[in-house]
Structure 1
Amino acid sequence: MSTVVITGGSRGIGASAAIECARRGLGVILTYKSNPSAAAAVVARIEGEGGKAVALELNLGEVASFHGFRQDVERALATVWQTGSLGGLVNNAGYGLFNPIESVTEEQFDGLMNVHLKGPFFLTQVLLPLLQEGASIVNLTSATTRVATAGVAPYAAFKGGLEVLTRYMAKEFGERRIRVNAVSPGAIRTELGGGLNAEFEALLAGQTSLGRVGEPEEVARVITALLTADGGWINAQSIEVAGGYII
Protein backbone atom coordinates (compact mmCIF):
# COMPACT_ATOMS: atom_id res chain seq x y z
CA MET A 1 0.00 0.00 0.00
CA SER A 2 1.36 3.40 -1.00
CA THR A 3 1.06 6.12 1.65
CA VAL A 4 0.58 9.86 1.14
CA VAL A 5 0.91 12.94 3.35
CA ILE A 6 -1.92 15.47 3.10
CA THR A 7 -1.39 18.74 4.94
CA GLY A 8 -4.47 20.43 6.35
CA GLY A 9 -6.35 17.14 6.24
CA SER A 10 -8.71 17.77 9.14
CA ARG A 11 -11.32 19.73 7.19
CA GLY A 12 -12.45 20.99 3.81
CA ILE A 13 -10.68 19.86 0.68
CA GLY A 14 -7.89 18.21 2.67
CA ALA A 15 -10.30 16.02 4.64
CA SER A 16 -12.19 15.06 1.50
CA ALA A 17 -8.90 14.22 -0.23
CA ALA A 18 -7.84 12.06 2.71
CA ILE A 19 -11.10 10.11 2.61
CA GLU A 20 -11.03 9.72 -1.18
CA CYS A 21 -7.39 8.57 -1.17
CA ALA A 22 -8.18 5.94 1.46
CA ARG A 23 -11.10 4.72 -0.64
CA ARG A 24 -8.67 4.23 -3.51
CA GLY A 25 -6.44 2.06 -1.34
CA LEU A 26 -3.85 4.62 -0.26
CA GLY A 27 -2.58 4.95 3.28
CA VAL A 28 -3.04 8.50 4.59
CA ILE A 29 -1.00 10.65 6.96
CA LEU A 30 -3.06 13.82 7.44
CA THR A 31 -1.96 16.88 9.34
CA TYR A 32 -3.75 19.39 11.53
CA LYS A 33 -2.65 22.56 13.27
CA SER A 34 -5.09 23.31 16.08
CA ASN A 35 -8.05 20.91 15.93
CA PRO A 36 -6.99 17.38 16.84
CA SER A 37 -10.58 16.27 17.36
CA ALA A 38 -11.50 17.16 13.75
CA ALA A 39 -8.44 15.25 12.52
CA ALA A 40 -9.36 12.28 14.70
CA ALA A 41 -12.86 12.30 13.22
CA VAL A 42 -11.42 12.04 9.70
CA VAL A 43 -9.15 9.18 10.80
CA ALA A 44 -12.11 7.41 12.41
CA ARG A 45 -14.16 7.75 9.24
CA ILE A 46 -11.34 6.34 7.12
CA GLU A 47 -10.82 3.43 9.50
CA GLY A 48 -14.57 2.84 9.63
CA GLU A 49 -14.49 2.33 5.86
CA GLY A 50 -11.61 -0.13 6.12
CA GLY A 51 -8.71 2.23 5.41
CA LYS A 52 -5.61 3.20 7.37
CA ALA A 53 -4.82 6.74 8.48
CA VAL A 54 -2.76 8.65 11.02
CA ALA A 55 -3.13 12.29 12.10
CA LEU A 56 -0.01 14.32 12.94
CA GLU A 57 0.31 17.87 14.19
CA LEU A 58 2.04 20.32 11.86
CA ASN A 59 2.35 24.10 11.76
CA LEU A 60 3.37 25.08 8.22
CA GLY A 61 4.37 28.50 9.49
CA GLU A 62 7.24 27.02 11.54
CA VAL A 63 9.88 25.64 9.19
CA ALA A 64 12.11 24.75 12.15
CA SER A 65 9.59 22.08 13.17
CA PHE A 66 9.70 20.23 9.83
CA HIS A 67 12.58 17.89 10.68
CA GLY A 68 10.72 16.76 13.78
CA PHE A 69 7.62 16.24 11.67
CA ARG A 70 9.63 14.11 9.24
CA GLN A 71 10.66 11.89 12.14
CA ASP A 72 6.98 11.54 13.10
CA VAL A 73 6.18 10.56 9.52
CA GLU A 74 8.99 7.99 9.48
CA ARG A 75 7.68 6.44 12.72
CA ALA A 76 4.13 6.28 11.36
CA LEU A 77 5.30 4.70 8.12
CA ALA A 78 7.28 2.07 10.00
CA THR A 79 4.66 1.18 12.61
CA VAL A 80 1.43 1.39 10.60
CA TRP A 81 2.53 0.50 7.07
CA GLN A 82 5.88 -1.28 7.63
CA THR A 83 7.60 0.89 5.05
CA GLY A 84 10.09 3.73 4.94
CA SER A 85 8.82 5.60 1.91
CA LEU A 86 5.98 7.83 0.75
CA GLY A 87 4.06 7.58 -2.49
CA GLY A 88 2.79 11.14 -2.47
CA LEU A 89 2.55 14.56 -0.88
CA VAL A 90 -0.37 16.98 -1.04
CA ASN A 91 0.52 20.56 -0.04
CA ASN A 92 -3.00 21.66 0.85
CA ALA A 93 -2.99 23.42 4.23
CA GLY A 94 -3.84 27.10 4.15
CA TYR A 95 -6.09 29.90 5.26
CA GLY A 96 -7.72 32.95 3.72
CA LEU A 97 -7.59 36.65 4.48
CA PHE A 98 -9.82 39.32 2.99
CA ASN A 99 -8.04 42.65 3.17
CA PRO A 100 -7.33 45.32 0.53
CA ILE A 101 -3.68 45.93 -0.36
CA GLU A 102 -3.73 49.36 1.26
CA SER A 103 -4.43 47.89 4.69
CA VAL A 104 -2.47 44.60 4.66
CA THR A 105 0.04 44.51 7.52
CA GLU A 106 3.51 43.04 7.29
CA GLU A 107 2.50 40.42 9.85
CA GLN A 108 -0.48 39.36 7.73
CA PHE A 109 1.69 39.29 4.61
CA ASP A 110 4.36 37.16 6.27
CA GLY A 111 1.80 34.78 7.75
CA LEU A 112 0.25 34.08 4.36
CA MET A 113 3.64 33.73 2.69
CA ASN A 114 4.89 31.28 5.30
CA VAL A 115 1.90 28.96 4.98
CA HIS A 116 1.19 29.17 1.26
CA LEU A 117 4.67 29.36 -0.29
CA LYS A 118 7.59 29.08 2.12
CA GLY A 119 5.99 26.21 4.04
CA PRO A 120 5.26 24.01 1.01
CA PHE A 121 8.73 24.74 -0.40
CA PHE A 122 10.63 23.60 2.66
CA LEU A 123 8.24 20.82 3.68
CA THR A 124 8.68 19.30 0.24
CA GLN A 125 12.45 19.69 0.60
CA VAL A 126 12.43 17.94 3.98
CA LEU A 127 10.17 15.08 2.87
CA LEU A 128 11.81 14.63 -0.54
CA PRO A 129 14.21 11.87 0.64
CA LEU A 130 11.17 9.84 1.77
CA LEU A 131 9.39 10.09 -1.57
CA GLN A 132 9.81 6.92 -3.58
CA GLU A 133 10.69 6.89 -7.26
CA GLY A 134 7.54 7.53 -9.27
CA ALA A 135 5.80 9.39 -6.43
CA SER A 136 3.40 12.29 -6.99
CA ILE A 137 3.22 15.77 -5.46
CA VAL A 138 0.07 17.88 -5.68
CA ASN A 139 0.14 21.57 -4.74
CA LEU A 140 -3.17 23.30 -4.03
CA THR A 141 -3.28 26.73 -5.64
CA SER A 142 -6.33 28.85 -6.50
CA ALA A 143 -8.39 30.27 -9.34
CA THR A 144 -7.59 33.68 -7.80
CA THR A 145 -4.25 33.43 -9.60
CA ARG A 146 -6.13 33.68 -12.89
CA VAL A 147 -8.97 36.01 -11.91
CA ALA A 148 -8.15 39.10 -9.85
CA THR A 149 -10.45 39.32 -6.83
CA ALA A 150 -10.14 42.50 -4.78
CA GLY A 151 -9.08 41.84 -1.20
CA VAL A 152 -7.05 38.65 -1.64
CA ALA A 153 -3.87 39.98 -3.26
CA PRO A 154 -1.28 38.43 -0.89
CA TYR A 155 -3.05 35.05 -0.83
CA ALA A 156 -3.35 35.00 -4.61
CA ALA A 157 0.25 36.18 -5.10
CA PHE A 158 1.65 33.35 -3.00
CA LYS A 159 -0.64 30.80 -4.64
CA GLY A 160 0.71 32.10 -7.95
CA GLY A 161 4.21 31.56 -6.66
CA LEU A 162 3.30 28.00 -5.70
CA GLU A 163 1.98 27.44 -9.21
CA VAL A 164 5.33 28.49 -10.67
CA LEU A 165 7.16 26.41 -8.07
CA THR A 166 5.14 23.40 -9.23
CA ARG A 167 6.76 23.52 -12.66
CA TYR A 168 10.24 23.89 -11.19
CA MET A 169 9.66 20.94 -8.89
CA ALA A 170 8.51 18.86 -11.84
CA LYS A 171 11.67 19.87 -13.71
CA GLU A 172 14.07 19.11 -10.88
CA PHE A 173 12.42 15.93 -9.60
CA GLY A 174 11.96 14.37 -13.03
CA GLU A 175 15.09 12.26 -12.75
CA ARG A 176 13.35 10.32 -9.99
CA ARG A 177 10.12 10.16 -12.05
CA ILE A 178 8.34 12.22 -9.40
CA ARG A 179 5.38 14.00 -10.96
CA VAL A 180 4.36 17.42 -9.65
CA ASN A 181 1.07 19.14 -10.49
CA ALA A 182 -1.06 21.95 -9.16
CA VAL A 183 -4.81 21.79 -8.53
CA SER A 184 -6.50 25.17 -8.65
CA PRO A 185 -9.96 25.23 -7.03
CA GLY A 186 -12.52 27.87 -7.82
CA ALA A 187 -15.45 28.69 -5.54
CA ILE A 188 -15.73 25.67 -3.22
CA ARG A 189 -17.96 25.15 -0.20
CA THR A 190 -15.32 25.16 2.57
CA GLU A 191 -14.53 27.14 5.72
CA LEU A 192 -11.66 29.00 4.02
CA GLY A 193 -11.93 32.72 4.65
CA GLY A 194 -14.89 32.25 6.97
CA GLY A 195 -17.02 30.13 4.66
CA LEU A 196 -19.92 31.11 2.42
CA ASN A 197 -23.08 32.92 3.39
CA ALA A 198 -26.16 32.67 1.17
CA GLU A 199 -25.56 36.01 -0.54
CA PHE A 200 -21.90 35.33 -1.31
CA GLU A 201 -22.67 31.82 -2.51
CA ALA A 202 -25.33 33.17 -4.89
CA LEU A 203 -22.81 35.69 -6.26
CA LEU A 204 -20.19 33.02 -6.88
CA ALA A 205 -22.72 30.65 -8.40
CA GLY A 206 -23.74 33.40 -10.80
CA GLN A 207 -20.11 33.79 -11.88
CA THR A 208 -19.70 30.06 -12.53
CA SER A 209 -20.72 28.53 -15.83
CA LEU A 210 -22.27 25.46 -14.21
CA GLY A 211 -24.38 27.65 -11.98
CA ARG A 212 -23.27 26.59 -8.50
CA VAL A 213 -20.28 26.47 -6.17
CA GLY A 214 -18.23 23.30 -6.02
CA GLU A 215 -18.02 20.72 -3.26
CA PRO A 216 -14.75 19.62 -1.59
CA GLU A 217 -15.29 16.08 -2.85
CA GLU A 218 -15.14 17.28 -6.45
CA VAL A 219 -11.66 18.71 -5.91
CA ALA A 220 -10.62 15.66 -3.89
CA ARG A 221 -11.33 13.31 -6.78
CA VAL A 222 -8.96 15.26 -9.03
CA ILE A 223 -6.25 15.29 -6.35
CA THR A 224 -6.60 11.55 -5.87
CA ALA A 225 -6.43 10.89 -9.60
CA LEU A 226 -3.13 12.76 -9.76
CA LEU A 227 -1.77 10.63 -6.92
CA THR A 228 -2.64 7.36 -8.63
CA ALA A 229 -1.98 5.69 -11.97
CA ASP A 230 -4.96 7.59 -13.41
CA GLY A 231 -2.71 10.66 -13.55
CA GLY A 232 0.45 8.80 -14.44
CA TRP A 233 1.22 10.86 -17.58
CA ILE A 234 0.17 14.25 -16.18
CA ASN A 235 3.11 16.35 -15.05
CA ALA A 236 3.96 20.04 -14.50
CA GLN A 237 0.33 21.09 -15.04
CA SER A 238 -2.04 23.42 -13.24
CA ILE A 239 -5.55 21.96 -13.36
CA GLU A 240 -8.37 24.32 -12.51
CA VAL A 241 -11.32 22.64 -10.79
CA ALA A 242 -13.85 25.43 -10.85
CA GLY A 243 -16.91 24.53 -12.91
CA GLY A 244 -16.12 27.34 -15.35
CA TYR A 245 -15.52 30.20 -12.92
CA ILE A 246 -15.50 33.59 -14.72
CA ILE A 247 -14.81 32.37 -18.26
Structure 2
Amino acid sequence: MSGLLAGKRIVVTGAARGLGWQFAQDIAAQGATLVMLDILADELQRRCADLLQQGYQAEHLSVDISDPGSVTAAFATLARGGGIDGLVNNAGLATGVGGKNLLDHDIELWDRVMQVNVRGTWLVSRAAVPLMSSGSAIVNVASDTALWGAPRLLAYVASKGAIIAMTRSMARELGERRLRVNAIAPGLTRVSATDYVPAARHQLYEQGRALAGEQHPQDVSGSVVWLLSGLSGFVTGQLLPVNGGFVFN
Protein backbone atom coordinates (compact mmCIF):
# COMPACT_ATOMS: atom_id res chain seq x y z
CA MET A 1 0.00 0.00 0.00
CA SER A 2 1.34 3.45 -0.91
CA GLY A 3 1.26 6.55 1.26
CA LEU A 4 3.43 8.76 3.45
CA LEU A 5 3.72 5.98 6.06
CA ALA A 6 3.97 2.95 3.77
CA GLY A 7 6.13 0.20 5.23
CA LYS A 8 6.02 1.63 8.75
CA ARG A 9 4.56 -0.04 11.84
CA ILE A 10 3.02 2.59 14.07
CA VAL A 11 1.48 2.38 17.54
CA VAL A 12 -1.36 4.67 18.64
CA THR A 13 -2.53 4.73 22.25
CA GLY A 14 -6.09 5.70 23.11
CA ALA A 15 -7.05 4.59 19.61
CA ALA A 16 -10.66 3.56 20.26
CA ARG A 17 -12.23 7.01 20.49
CA GLY A 18 -11.89 10.69 19.72
CA LEU A 19 -8.59 12.01 18.43
CA GLY A 20 -6.95 8.60 18.74
CA TRP A 21 -9.50 6.99 16.46
CA GLN A 22 -9.00 9.73 13.88
CA PHE A 23 -5.24 9.32 14.09
CA ALA A 24 -5.62 5.56 13.66
CA GLN A 25 -7.75 5.92 10.54
CA ASP A 26 -5.46 8.45 8.88
CA ILE A 27 -2.27 6.57 9.75
CA ALA A 28 -3.71 3.37 8.30
CA ALA A 29 -4.85 5.25 5.19
CA GLN A 30 -1.27 6.41 4.67
CA GLY A 31 -0.13 2.81 4.29
CA ALA A 32 1.17 2.01 7.77
CA THR A 33 0.69 -1.20 9.67
CA LEU A 34 -1.28 0.10 12.62
CA VAL A 35 -1.14 -1.15 16.21
CA MET A 36 -4.08 0.19 18.22
CA LEU A 37 -3.85 0.32 22.02
CA ASP A 38 -6.62 1.24 24.43
CA ILE A 39 -8.13 0.25 27.76
CA LEU A 40 -11.58 -0.01 26.10
CA ALA A 41 -11.09 -3.55 24.85
CA ASP A 42 -14.48 -4.19 23.21
CA GLU A 43 -14.64 -0.85 21.43
CA LEU A 44 -11.02 -1.21 20.34
CA GLN A 45 -11.76 -4.60 18.79
CA ARG A 46 -14.68 -3.16 16.82
CA ARG A 47 -12.59 -0.25 15.57
CA CYS A 48 -9.83 -2.57 14.45
CA ALA A 49 -12.34 -4.78 12.65
CA ASP A 50 -13.65 -1.71 10.82
CA LEU A 51 -10.18 -0.92 9.50
CA LEU A 52 -9.47 -4.51 8.49
CA GLN A 53 -12.77 -4.59 6.60
CA GLN A 54 -11.63 -1.54 4.64
CA GLY A 55 -8.48 -3.38 3.61
CA TYR A 56 -6.06 -1.65 5.98
CA GLN A 57 -3.38 -3.38 8.04
CA ALA A 58 -4.24 -3.19 11.72
CA GLU A 59 -3.93 -5.06 15.00
CA HIS A 60 -5.03 -4.24 18.52
CA LEU A 61 -3.98 -4.81 22.12
CA SER A 62 -5.82 -3.90 25.30
CA VAL A 63 -3.64 -1.97 27.75
CA ASP A 64 -3.91 0.26 30.79
CA ILE A 65 -1.11 2.78 30.24
CA SER A 66 -1.02 3.71 33.93
CA ASP A 67 -0.18 0.11 34.91
CA PRO A 68 3.48 -0.85 34.35
CA GLY A 69 2.64 -4.56 34.19
CA SER A 70 -0.05 -4.01 31.58
CA VAL A 71 2.29 -1.90 29.42
CA THR A 72 5.13 -4.41 29.70
CA ALA A 73 2.87 -7.31 28.74
CA ALA A 74 1.38 -5.46 25.78
CA PHE A 75 4.76 -4.50 24.35
CA ALA A 76 6.16 -7.99 24.89
CA THR A 77 3.31 -9.26 22.71
CA LEU A 78 3.84 -6.46 20.22
CA ALA A 79 7.58 -7.21 20.00
CA ARG A 80 6.89 -10.67 18.67
CA GLY A 81 5.61 -9.01 15.51
CA GLY A 82 8.84 -7.05 14.97
CA GLY A 83 9.98 -3.51 15.55
CA ILE A 84 7.99 -0.30 15.41
CA ASP A 85 8.67 2.89 13.46
CA GLY A 86 6.36 5.32 15.19
CA LEU A 87 4.44 5.95 18.40
CA VAL A 88 1.60 8.36 19.10
CA ASN A 89 1.17 8.92 22.84
CA ASN A 90 -2.44 10.00 22.69
CA ALA A 91 -4.13 8.17 25.57
CA GLY A 92 -4.99 10.38 28.51
CA LEU A 93 -7.57 11.36 31.07
CA ALA A 94 -9.66 14.44 30.32
CA THR A 95 -13.34 13.81 31.04
CA GLY A 96 -14.42 15.15 34.43
CA VAL A 97 -11.13 16.80 35.32
CA GLY A 98 -12.36 20.41 35.16
CA GLY A 99 -14.61 22.74 37.13
CA LYS A 100 -12.70 23.13 40.41
CA ASN A 101 -10.15 25.78 41.27
CA LEU A 102 -6.76 25.03 42.80
CA LEU A 103 -8.12 25.38 46.36
CA ASP A 104 -10.85 22.78 45.84
CA HIS A 105 -9.00 20.28 43.66
CA ASP A 106 -9.23 16.68 44.87
CA ILE A 107 -5.90 15.05 45.71
CA GLU A 108 -7.18 11.72 44.35
CA LEU A 109 -8.12 13.29 41.01
CA TRP A 110 -4.78 15.09 40.79
CA ASP A 111 -2.89 11.84 41.39
CA ARG A 112 -5.00 9.92 38.88
CA VAL A 113 -4.51 12.49 36.13
CA MET A 114 -0.75 12.47 36.68
CA GLN A 115 -0.70 8.68 36.81
CA VAL A 116 -2.43 8.34 33.44
CA ASN A 117 -1.29 11.38 31.46
CA VAL A 118 2.29 11.78 32.65
CA ARG A 119 3.41 8.43 33.98
CA GLY A 120 1.47 6.61 31.28
CA THR A 121 3.22 8.56 28.52
CA TRP A 122 6.58 7.72 30.07
CA LEU A 123 5.76 4.03 30.59
CA VAL A 124 4.64 3.56 26.99
CA SER A 125 7.65 5.46 25.62
CA ARG A 126 10.00 3.41 27.80
CA ALA A 127 8.52 0.20 26.43
CA ALA A 128 8.48 1.39 22.81
CA VAL A 129 11.96 2.86 22.40
CA PRO A 130 13.85 -0.48 22.52
CA LEU A 131 11.75 -1.61 19.54
CA MET A 132 12.61 1.48 17.48
CA SER A 133 15.44 1.94 15.01
CA SER A 134 17.08 5.00 13.46
CA GLY A 135 14.53 7.27 11.79
CA SER A 136 11.61 6.31 14.02
CA ALA A 137 9.40 9.01 15.54
CA ILE A 138 7.37 9.67 18.66
CA VAL A 139 4.50 12.17 18.76
CA ASN A 140 3.20 13.17 22.19
CA VAL A 141 -0.25 14.72 22.45
CA ALA A 142 -0.21 17.70 24.78
CA SER A 143 -2.80 20.51 24.87
CA ASP A 144 -2.87 24.23 24.23
CA THR A 145 -4.39 24.62 27.70
CA ALA A 146 -0.78 24.41 28.92
CA LEU A 147 0.12 27.38 26.72
CA TRP A 148 -2.60 29.79 27.78
CA GLY A 149 -3.17 28.56 31.34
CA ALA A 150 -6.78 27.42 31.19
CA PRO A 151 -8.45 28.02 34.58
CA ARG A 152 -10.29 25.42 36.65
CA LEU A 153 -8.41 22.64 34.93
CA LEU A 154 -5.22 22.60 36.96
CA ALA A 155 -4.34 18.89 37.06
CA TYR A 156 -4.97 18.47 33.35
CA VAL A 157 -3.03 21.63 32.45
CA ALA A 158 -0.13 20.57 34.67
CA SER A 159 -0.07 17.11 33.11
CA LYS A 160 0.00 18.48 29.58
CA GLY A 161 2.70 20.97 30.52
CA ALA A 162 4.72 18.05 31.81
CA ILE A 163 4.30 16.25 28.49
CA ILE A 164 5.66 19.29 26.65
CA ALA A 165 8.71 19.35 28.94
CA MET A 166 9.15 15.57 28.63
CA THR A 167 9.10 15.86 24.86
CA ARG A 168 12.11 18.18 24.88
CA SER A 169 14.07 16.02 27.29
CA MET A 170 13.23 12.86 25.35
CA ALA A 171 14.34 14.50 22.10
CA ARG A 172 17.73 15.31 23.65
CA GLU A 173 18.19 11.81 25.05
CA LEU A 174 17.02 9.91 21.99
CA GLY A 175 18.66 12.07 19.35
CA GLU A 176 21.86 10.04 19.58
CA ARG A 177 19.81 7.06 18.43
CA ARG A 178 18.39 9.16 15.55
CA LEU A 179 14.92 8.95 17.07
CA ARG A 180 12.73 12.04 16.79
CA VAL A 181 10.31 13.21 19.50
CA ASN A 182 7.79 16.01 18.98
CA ALA A 183 4.51 17.12 20.52
CA ILE A 184 1.29 18.63 19.27
CA ALA A 185 -0.94 20.90 21.33
CA PRO A 186 -4.52 20.63 20.04
CA GLY A 187 -7.14 23.15 21.04
CA LEU A 188 -10.54 22.21 22.41
CA THR A 189 -11.80 19.61 19.94
CA ARG A 190 -15.34 18.39 19.41
CA VAL A 191 -15.13 14.78 20.60
CA SER A 192 -17.12 12.74 23.12
CA ALA A 193 -14.46 13.37 25.80
CA THR A 194 -15.17 17.11 25.66
CA ASP A 195 -18.97 16.86 25.90
CA TYR A 196 -18.70 17.79 29.59
CA VAL A 197 -16.97 21.09 28.81
CA PRO A 198 -19.31 24.06 29.44
CA ALA A 199 -20.72 25.77 26.36
CA ALA A 200 -19.04 29.03 27.37
CA ARG A 201 -15.59 27.42 27.13
CA HIS A 202 -16.39 26.05 23.67
CA GLN A 203 -17.54 29.51 22.61
CA LEU A 204 -14.36 31.07 24.00
CA TYR A 205 -12.31 28.88 21.70
CA GLU A 206 -14.55 29.10 18.67
CA GLN A 207 -14.74 32.89 18.77
CA GLY A 208 -11.11 33.41 19.80
CA ARG A 209 -9.41 31.44 17.05
CA ALA A 210 -7.75 33.22 14.15
CA LEU A 211 -9.58 30.58 12.11
CA ALA A 212 -12.89 31.03 13.91
CA GLY A 213 -15.14 28.04 14.45
CA GLU A 214 -15.19 24.51 15.83
CA GLN A 215 -12.19 22.20 15.83
CA HIS A 216 -12.70 18.56 14.82
CA PRO A 217 -10.38 15.53 14.96
CA GLN A 218 -9.63 15.69 11.24
CA ASP A 219 -8.24 19.19 11.79
CA VAL A 220 -5.54 17.71 14.02
CA SER A 221 -4.67 14.40 12.43
CA GLY A 222 -2.67 15.65 9.44
CA SER A 223 -0.06 17.18 11.73
CA VAL A 224 0.47 13.81 13.41
CA VAL A 225 0.89 12.03 10.07
CA TRP A 226 3.43 14.67 9.00
CA LEU A 227 5.46 14.35 12.21
CA LEU A 228 5.56 10.57 11.80
CA SER A 229 6.63 10.78 8.17
CA GLY A 230 9.95 11.39 6.49
CA LEU A 231 8.76 14.86 5.49
CA SER A 232 9.62 16.01 9.03
CA GLY A 233 12.86 14.03 9.17
CA PHE A 234 14.93 16.87 10.68
CA VAL A 235 12.31 18.08 13.15
CA THR A 236 12.65 17.07 16.79
CA GLY A 237 12.00 18.51 20.25
CA GLN A 238 9.32 20.81 18.87
CA LEU A 239 5.81 21.73 19.99
CA LEU A 240 3.23 22.32 17.28
CA PRO A 241 0.01 24.02 18.42
CA VAL A 242 -2.87 22.78 16.27
CA ASN A 243 -5.71 25.01 17.42
CA GLY A 244 -6.78 27.28 14.59
CA GLY A 245 -4.73 30.13 16.01
CA PHE A 246 -6.28 30.36 19.47
CA VAL A 247 -2.75 30.37 20.88
CA PHE A 248 0.40 31.18 18.93
CA ASN A 249 3.74 29.59 19.80
TM-score, normalised by the number of residues in structure 2:
0.90
The match for 1:70 among 53, 58, 75 is 75
| Aligned-pair CA distance for 1:117 | 0.8
| Aligned-pair CA distance for 1:93 | 0.3
- What is the CA deviation profile of residues 221-246 of structure 1, one whole-angstrom value per residue up to 9, with x for unaligned ones? 11011111122121110000000115
Cα distance in 2 for partners of 1:42, 1:132 equals: 28
Correspondence for 1:191 = 192
Give matches, 1:217-236, under 5 Å. Answer: 217-236=218-237
What is the CA RMSD across the aligned residues, in angstroms? Answer: 1.6
Cα distance in 2 for partners of 1:186, 1:20 equals: 19
- What is the CA deviation profile of residues 58-111 of structure 1, one whole-angstrom value per residue up to 9, with x for unaligned ones? 112212322111112123x2xxxxxx1000111100121113211212211111
Cα distance in 2 for partners of 1:227, 1:53 equals: 17
Correspondence for 1:89 = 87
1:105 alignment partner AA: D
Cα distance in 2 for partners of 1:124, 1:25 equals: 23
Correspondence for 1:213 = 214
- What is the CA deviation profile of residues 117-152 of structure 1, one whole-angstrom value per residue up to 9, with x for unaligned ones? 111112211221111221000000000111111111
The structure-2 alpha-carbon separation of the partners of 1:171 and 1:220, relative to structure 1 and needing over 3 Å to count, comes to same
Aligned residues: 239
| Aligned-pair CA distance for 1:193 | 4.2
Correspondence for 2:62 = 57
Q: Which structure 1 residue ranges, 5 or more long, are not aligned? A: 78-83
Q: Secondary structure at 2:148's aligned position in 1?
A: coil
The structure-2 alpha-carbon separation of the partners of 1:181 and 1:101, relative to structure 1 and needing over 3 Å to count, comes to same
- What is the CA deviation profile of residues 148-186 of structure 1, one whole-angstrom value per residue up to 9, with x for unaligned ones? 111111111111111011011111111111000001001
Correspondence for 1:16 = 22
- What is the CA deviation profile of residues 168-216 of structure 1, one whole-angstrom value per residue up to 9, with x for unaligned ones? 1111111111000001001211122445576553332112121112111
2:151 alignment partner AA: A
1:123 lines up with 2:124 in the alignment: yes
TM-score, normalised by the number of residues in structure 1:
0.91
2:93 alignment partner AA: Y
1:43 alignment partner AA: C
Q: Secondary structure at 1:129's aligned position in 2?
A: helix
Q: Secondary structure at 1:29's aligned position in 2?
A: strand
Q: Secondary structure at 2:176's aligned position in 1?
A: helix
Q: Percent identity?
A: 28
Correspondence for 2:137 = 136
Cα distance in 2 for partners of 1:194, 1:101 equals: 22
Kept after mapping to 1: 8 A contact 2:65/2:123: no
Q: Which structure 2 residue ranges, 5 or more long, are not aligned? A: 1-6
1:155 alignment partner AA: Y
Kept after mapping to 2: 8 A contact 1:190/1:196: no
1:46 alignment partner AA: L
Cα distance in 1 for partners of 2:23, 2:9 equals: 13
1:20 alignment partner AA: D
Cα distance in 2 for partners of 1:73, 1:10 equals: 18
Cα distance in 2 for partners of 1:65, 1:89 equals: 17
Cα distance in 1 for partners of 2:210, 2:196 equals: 21
Cα distance in 2 for partners of 1:169, 1:119 equals: 15
